Amino acid sequence: MGFAADPITDAMTAAYAPYRVALFRTNSKAQIASEEAIAQASQAWQALISTYAKAPPPPYDRDPHLGKALADVTAVYEKAANEIRAQKLAEAHETLENARDLMAEIRRRNNVIVYSDHMNAYHAEMEHLLSDGPKWVGQAQGFLLLMEKLGSMEFLAARLRSEAPTAVTSDPAFASALKTVEQSLSALREAILAQDANRVREAISKVKGPYSQLFLKFG
């Protein structure tokens, strides 16, 4: 979401929509839907390559690594498609995560920022919380570590609101989806302040779902 001023970024943003679906479907262990989603994502990406790889418009025309980067995303899709066909959906989901980073790096290298970059920043901090948060609960300074991580996530959630382009904010579903994300963080804050280990663990477990729904439609 959030279209830029150059055609290749617009095409990349459009191709990102079926990619998000492929991520979501593999994560939800939906075999047929995953097969359909990866086919659509691959098709959209190949259309981008066919149109722009040989003669990319500015600012990408100055990027000597663009061709390889586009091919790297293709390789990710091909590997994920093979894993999906082998019914290894968890592995395919992890493989597909790499495409998110590759696309972000293409934009970063060319000084292009889109709304997906803000979504990715929140996702990165969320993944740290999900992996490290439950371990911190039982540590002496665990609640302080959790509050520190929560602070960065709250800042990034605020960016999700302030940086949302009109194409996103004009959708009635956006406000409620983002509010659900914010509420998941508020619940975690309340649990940390109460120093209730069980509530904290439960609140951490409920952070990913709201983000996934927001990402699927607007990421």
Give the model's confidence band at 213: pLDDT under 50 very low, under 70 low, under 90 confident, else very high: very high
Give the model's confidence band at 219: pLDDT under 50 very low, under 70 low, under 90 confident, else very high: confident
Separation CA 19–CA 10 (nearest Å)? 15
How confident is the model over 163-178, as pLDDT tens digits?
999 989 999 999 999 9
Give the model's confidence band at 4: pLDDT under 50 very low, under 70 low, under 90 confident, else very high: low
Do residues 114 and 91 make contact, with C-beta atoms less than 8 angstroms apart? no
Output the pTM of the full model. 0.87
How confident is the model over 94-144, as pLDDT tens digits?
999 999 999 999 999 999 999 999 999 999 999 999 999 999 998 989 999
Determine the pLDDT at residue 5: 67
Q: What's 165's DSSP letter?
A: -
How confident is the model over 125-136, as pLDDT tens digits?
999 999 999 999
SS3 113: coil
Helix crossing, 197-205 with 172-193: angle to 10°?
Answer: 160
Give the model's confidence band at 87: pLDDT under 50 very low, under 70 low, under 90 confident, else very high: very high
Q: Domains along the chain?
A: 7-109 (1.20.120.660), 115-218 (1.20.120)
Determine the pLDDT at residue 3: 46
Half-sphere exposure of 158 (CA within 13 A, CB side): 7
- The mean pLDDT value of the chain amounts to 94
